[in-house]
Amino acid sequence: MNEIMTKIFEYYNFKKIWDQNDREFWVKDDNRIVSYFILNYIDCTLIPDDEAAIRKELDKLEDEYIDERNKTVGIKYLVSHVFDNEQEISQIDKNTSAIFLVRFSELNKLKKYRNLIYAIEESPNYFKRYILPYTETQVEGLNKTLSDYKSKNIVEVLSDLADVERDYYSLMNGTNENSVYELVIRLFSKVPFLQYEFKATSADVSLEKLVKDELKGDLETFNQAIMENITDIDYWIGLDNSTLSEEEVNVLLNKLLDEVE
């Protein structure tokens, strides 16, 4: 997961200025924009399947951000000594967000700890938080896809993966959990600056033409009749190419009338 996050951050011109014990501090490499991120990698595959144990692990970043027992070993103190000037140091608190990259052995545990994750994300202390759970299966699948498309940057690949309509509906129906697609959607929702790249379309193509391109056969004939505002019932009946007999049509009509009554 570290490799994927590094590619994303570097694509958006962030630079890593500090890392220690699975924590990284990234700074936007742009004098016009002040944006800092802590990446907090947590491996929950080795932690007992217990809410208190998971909570303790998620709370460590906040506990160690400013170590009340010895502030010279707190994360904020250590990071502040990497900056070149006092102005950058003064902006740490109000411009820092943290992304918790939480590795689970299986994502069905996510439902069990959903309320705990919400509670961590909503904490007002020190920095804004985003929790991104994942499994190694998802990471391996995404890394393989990235290696297959080396000619594209990571945001292009992520956008292409997110654009697969079939996978979207599968995710909504709960039939592709622990998939690469699920991880991609989480990346877009939990990395605040990661932007989906919409497919380019020609400005010369009107909405009317796009609709007409989709209309084929009988649909195109019916659409033309609507556009011409034809109200003659015999004309509309003549457009119907079905093989129903008059008797079958009457049966259907009577059935509909009975349902209305």
Q: Residue 183: its pLDDT value, please?
A: 93
Look at 154 and 46; give whichever has higher pLDDT: 154
3-state helix, strand, coil in the chain (%, to 5): 55, 15, 35
Asked if residue 131 lies in contact with residue 160, where contact means CB atoms within 8 angstroms, the answer is no
H/E run at residue 41: strand 36-43
Most confident range (mean pLDDT) of 7-11, 216-220, 254-258 is: 7-11
pLDDT digits (tens, 9 = 90+) for 187-216: 999 999 999 877 655 444 455 555 555 555
Would you give the DSSP letter of residue 129? E
* Coil/strand/helix, residue 261: coil
Most confident range (mean pLDDT) of 63-67, 137-141, 244-248 is: 137-141
Phi, psi at 80, each rounded to 5°: -60, -25
Angle at CA 153, nearest 5°, toward 183 and 18? 75
Least confident of 3-7, 149-153, 232-236: 232-236
Least confident of 119-133, 152-166, 241-255: 241-255
* Coil/strand/helix, residue 97: strand
Spell out the residues 6+ positions from residue 59 whose beta carbon is closer than 8 angstroms to its own. 120
